[in-house]
Amino acid sequence: MMFTALTLPNGSTLPNRLAKAAMEENMADAGQLPGPALNRLYESWADGGVGLIITGNVMIDGRAMTGPGGVVLEAGTPLDSFRTWSQAARSQGAQVWMQINHPGRQVMANMGGNAWAPSAVALDMGKHSKLFAQPVEMTAMQIEEVIGRFAATAHAAEQAGFNGVQIHAAHGYLISQFLSPLTNRRRDGWGGSLANRARLLLEVVRAVRARVSPGFSVAVKLNSADFQRGGFSEDDAKQVVLLLNELPVDMIELSGGSYESPAMQGRTADGRTLAREAYFLEFAKELAAVARMPVMTTGGIARKPVAEQVLASGIAVAGIATALAEVPNLPQEWRAGRSPEALPPAVTWKDKTMASVAAMALVKRRLRALGSGVQRSGSYSPLLTMLMGQLRMFYLTRRYRAWLQR
């Protein structure tokens, strides 16, 4: 089943059921544009045999970034470098979807720019909270601007040769913030009831679909829960899936968590224990039972038997992230009957936030190595890698702030 094709609701086809899920690379060239390093990275995944490649998040507004080395695509952005990027990713027949995103309040304070949010509720990261910008409650006009920006970025992605977009409504970013009662305390038509909190997501899907062709895929990444007490729950997720059933959505990817509760890395803030592998499979199975579109789940999938279990559970696509940074040709290895070790050693520091930062730094270092043409995975020191990553982010932040003031 793993290597059988999947026809999506819009009639397009994925050549197999394995997807490279989004990972934030922070590898943009000057001008926040894709360049040779990203092209080489995506060529390695194209050569590796996945049926679907989803990019790291591309920002719809250059004034609001998840990281200083992020790619930005807005109305009017030159598309030549994006065309080269999409060609590299599509070179072996996989579909390539651009993940499009607005960070909302999850913006570092030293970045400058905007930290728009449904409500002025700051991130609670303990002693690390001051690293993040103070969020500003959005006006109705700003909400409409964001909807238009999602649609404009999707249109530009299609013009640049991508096969689809994935609207990021998970991991505590802006649309996810609107969905959660912890971060959305509005009293207008964008807050309160779940129907109102889901309104931004639904309006973005409608606006995107109106700007792209029927054969262009429109997908949504949704939290199965945000794993915070009083937050977006599994029942909320089910109700949102039922709402999305009424729209032309080609796939839903189910994940979970946020910066405050990084369930996508296997840890939760509300004390719940996730599965050791395929973290969100049980949640995804319940939601797939009511979804009219194919469902993909990502989080902790690194072994062939686990991917097979996911697909045998009624999930249409198995999303793989960190394992494809370690072994970019993992699908080819599985098809050939080999089972390489595809996960880096866990970072088990006492400070869970810094351990999370170090784990992400290790993945990003591996992505940069692939972008430099180094296929073989190395053994990296978490502490040294984190410090190197912080120095690199300092440089990229200076470059980004200069770009922002252009």
Residue 207 has pLDDT above 60, yes or no: yes
Neighbours of 234 (CB within 10 A): 16
* 145 within domain boundaries: yes
Could you report the per-residue pLDDT of 19-38, keeping only the tens digit for each? 999 999 999 999 999 999 99
Find the mean pLDDT for residues 262-268: 58
Query: For residues 277 and 392, which has the higher predicted lDDT (pLDDT)?
Result: 392
Instruction: Examine the pLDDT at 246 and tell me if it is beyond 50.
Output: yes
User: CA-CA distance, 143 to 317, in Å (whole number)?
Assistant: 32
Tell me if 26 is assigned to some domain: yes
Tally of structural domains, the chain: 1
**pLDDT for res 261:** 59
Average pLDDT over residues 187-198: 97
Whether 84 maps to a domain, the answer reads: yes
Cα–Cα dist 139/32, whole Å: 27
pLDDT, residue 335, reads 96
User: Residues 128-165, buried b or exposed e (16+ Cβ, 10 A)?
Assistant: eeeebbebeebeeeebeebbebbbbbbbbbbebbbbbb
Q: What is the pLDDT of residue 376?
A: 72
Mean pLDDT of 261-267: 59
Q: How confident is the model at residue 400 (pLDDT cuts 50, 70, 90)?
A: very high
Q: Which residues pair with 29 in a beta bridge?
A: 33
Q: What value does the mean pLDDT take over residues 121-134?
A: 85
Residue 386 domain flag? no
Q: Which residue has the higher pLDDT, 52 or 132?
A: 52
- Out of 107-111, 140-144, 215-219, 345-349, pick the least confident: 345-349
Give pLDDT tens digits for 97-107. 999 999 999 99
Domain assignment present for 351 = no
- pLDDT of the residue at 348: 84
Q: Are 119 and 186 in contact (CB under 8 A)?
A: yes
- Mean pLDDT across the stretch 381-404? 93
Helix (H) or strand (E) holding 208: helix 199-211
pLDDT at 314: 93
* Nearest-10 crossing angle of helices 36-48, 352-371: 90
User: Is 50 exceeded by the pLDDT of residue 270?
Assistant: no
Can you give the CATH number for the domain in which 226 is found? 3.20.20.70
Task: State the residue for tokens 């180094």.
Answer: 374
pLDDT at position 274: 53
What pLDDT sits at residue 220? 98
Whether 10 is covered by a domain: the verdict is yes
For residue 233, name the pLDDT band (cuts at 50, 70, 90): confident
> To the nearest whole percent, how much of the chain has pLDDT over 70?
93
Is the pLDDT at 262 greater than 90? The verdict is no
Say whether pLDDT at 271 is over 70. no
CA distance 201 to 224: 15
- Min mean pLDDT across 64-78, 209-223, 289-303, 348-362 is at 348-362
What is the pLDDT at residue 276?
Answer: 61
- Weakest-pLDDT range from 43-47, 146-150, 154-158, 338-342: 338-342
State residue 263's pLDDT score: 52
For the chain, what is the mean pLDDT?
91
Query: What's the confidence (pLDDT) of residue 184?
Result: 96
| Least confidently predicted of 145-154, 189-198, 339-348 | 339-348
pTM: 0.94
Let me know: does 117 contact 174? Beta carbons within 8 Å. yes
- Mean pLDDT, rounded, for 251-262: 77
pLDDT of residue 269: 59
* pLDDT of 272 over the 60 cut: no
Domain assignment present for 22:
yes
Question: Does 380 fall in a domain?
Answer: no
pLDDT band for position 256 (50/70/90)? confident
Cβ-defined contacts of 400-404 (< 8 Å, 24+): 400/32, 400/65, 400/68, 400/69, 400/111, 401/111, 401/112, 403/30, 403/31, 403/32, 403/62, 404/62, 404/63, 404/112, 404/113
Sequence-ordered alpha helix ranges (H) in 125-185: 140-159, 174-179
Identity of the residue numbered 141: M
Cα separation, 344 vs 340, in Å, equals 12
Task: Check residue 38 and report its DSSP letter.
Answer: H
pLDDT, tens digit (0-9, with 9 covering 90-100), for 362-384? 999 999 999 998 877 678 888 89
Q: Using CA of residue 340, residue 342, residue 347, residue 348, what is the dihedral sign?
A: negative
Range of the domain at 24: 6-344
Residue 343 has pLDDT above 70, yes or no: yes
